[in-house]
Structure 1
Amino acid sequence: MMRAAAIGSLLVALSATAGVAERNLIPTLENQPDVCPNQPPEPEWMQNIDVRESHKRLLIQQIYRAQSMQRIVEAQGCECPTRYPPWEAAEGVFVENFAASEYWDIVEATSEYRRQANDLRREAMPICEAAGNW
């Protein structure tokens, strides 16, 4: 009988702990970055893009990310303006090369820019960590 009571108490304690942990996992609506708090926001048109066109937004985000990693590696520095410049250069690449592209061409280009950014990330990460911007 004591054993059953002990097991019951343990189950109550564990379920209460799980409930607290679950409540701590609720995402917040704030989107404050950990580094470089003055990052330029995405252009408004990208934030309001129709869901059927969201693949274009993903491509521009990956172009921006790849350009960012490239700048860090080239400059061997990770100041906030180097890592997070205005979005115009990424938008320009998109407009010039992909604005009229078909869906699968954009998906393929997104994968390529993601690979490029990930490759450059290996070099950029230690530079940014040393600067406190990772």
Structure 2
Amino acid sequence: MRNALLCISITVVGFPAAAERDFVPSLDSTSDVCIDRPAEPEWMQNITVREAYRRVLVQDIYRAQNLERIVETGSCTCDTRFPSWEAAETEFRERFNTAERWEMLEASDTYNRRANALRPDAMAICEAEGNW
């Protein structure tokens, strides 16, 4: 009887630790969808912390443009969902390159709102294609 209780307590005590281990987030940034995504431009990867808001704005522009393209075309191919960064960089340079920090932060908010409004429709299109 004593051995049976010992076995049960070891099993019960050991199980939560194993279950918790399955929920530990991975630091690996690879995705199951569109694994050949273009890398961010090098200047964005090497930007200083003090200027990180510039990188965030380009990322927000990129996300909004991509979701918009998915909804407009009704397609969620990898090239549509994750194109090159060129269009986002161009929009950033033409509209915000000399803007003040506060203007870029406001623009980021605007692009995020636009992307969030498009997200449900884009998600439905992408899920139907198995690409979300």
| TM more than 0.5 | yes
CA RMSD of aligned residues (A): 2.0
Could you tell me which residue of structure 1 aligns to residue 117 of structure 2? 119
Could you tell me which residue of structure 2 aligns to residue 66 of structure 1? 64
CA distance in 1, matches of 2:104, 2:43: 18
Could you tell me which residue of structure 1 aligns to residue 53 of structure 2? 55
Aligned length: 127
Deviation beyond 2 Å, 4+ runs, structure 1: 12-30
Superposition pairs of residues 1-134 of structure 1, within 5 angstroms:
16-134=14-132
Farther off after superposition, 30-39 or 16-25: 16-25
CA distance in 1, matches of 2:111, 2:124: 21
Identity %: 51
TM-score (norm 1): 0.83
1:51-103: CA deviation from partner (whole Å, max 9, x where unpaired): 11111111100100000001001111101101110000000010111111111
Unaligned runs of 5+ in 1: 1-5
Unaligned runs of 5+ in 2: none
Q: CA deviation at 1:109?
A: 0.5
TM-score (norm 2): 0.84
CA distance in 2, matches of 1:13, 1:102: 60
